[in-house]
Structure 1
């Protein structure tokens, strides 16, 4: 696994979550996955292309998404409406944008897509090409135990 591609997302996530949510994060146990199966969650999907090609899925339980939206909007949010979803998608976009800046500082040229948000009781997001791509799950654990799972799917993560 290439830590050159993993460390920037950890650095960016820590910095942005601290700034936006006033939360410190700890890193949970990284794992390799075969698929993207989410329960009672929202998923923000972003692509990165260039010297690093990959799909990033920010998987967040609905109740955690409400807390994130509340912190970002400065008021208690009780419904995951369009504005709340937009706030959560913006956080993911900012994290990946900061990751792109770190990549650039390290000589890795990338471009980032617009976010796509999906939500559901049971969400399955197909794997693009399981033989040529790895999925690594990075759980970011916030102070109250809330988790943001960042799933990175890329052929650039396969062990050589």
Structure 2
């Protein structure tokens, strides 16, 4: 996988987390995984299609997700109920949307899917034929893992996805 795809996601996460919840991030070491991810308590997934194809996953603990969403909503949330799931899905959506703009500026136009939230630690998520590039982000609210399973697509995919 092309590591040039990683920086737009790190930059987007830093910008969005700062704007939404006042968080600053510290990036941990980047690691490469062989197409299988064991999920954290909460995982948000989105697909990309276009000049870049694949998936992005955001993994975090329930406590971190609830703290982030509580800060975003201006109210204390105690359970990963429908409202909390919607909030954390939207956070992943905004980060991925901002990253897709940065990718387009670098010549990698792509469209993104709606987010899916997976609840349950130790859920195994496979990305056949795609390796996962993982980077942990530390915030004052807890850790967020960004995992990318991306490859170069073709330009006609972007046009088809937009129709």
1:134 Cα deviation from its structure 2 partner: 1.5
When normalised by structure 1's length, the TM-score is 0.89
Runs of 4+ that moved beyond 6 A: none
Give the distance between the partners of 1:139 and 1:82, measured in 2 at CA: 26
Q: Structure 2 unaligned segments of length 5 or more: list them.
A: 153-163
For residue 37 of structure 1, what is the aligned residue in structure 2?
Answer: 38
Is 1:155–2:151 an aligned residue pair?
A: yes
Give the distance between the partners of 2:48 and 2:31, measured in 1 at CA: 21
The size of the alignment, in residue pairs, is: 151
When normalised by structure 2's length, the TM-score is 0.87
For residue 54 of structure 1, what is the aligned residue in structure 2?
Answer: 54
8 Å CA contact 1:17, 1:24 repeated in 2: yes
For residue 117 of structure 2, what is the aligned residue in structure 1?
Answer: 117
Superposition RMSD in Å: 1.4
Give the distance between the partners of 1:142 and 1:73, measured in 2 at CA: 18
8 Å CA contact 2:21, 2:68 repeated in 1: yes
For residue 136 of structure 2, what is the aligned residue in structure 1?
Answer: 139
Question: Which deviates the most, 1-10 or 20-29?
Answer: 1-10
Q: Structure 1 unaligned segments of length 5 or more: list them.
A: none
| 1:93-143 superposed Cα distances (whole Å, 9 cap, x missing partner) | 0000000111122222101001111101331112222xxx21111111103
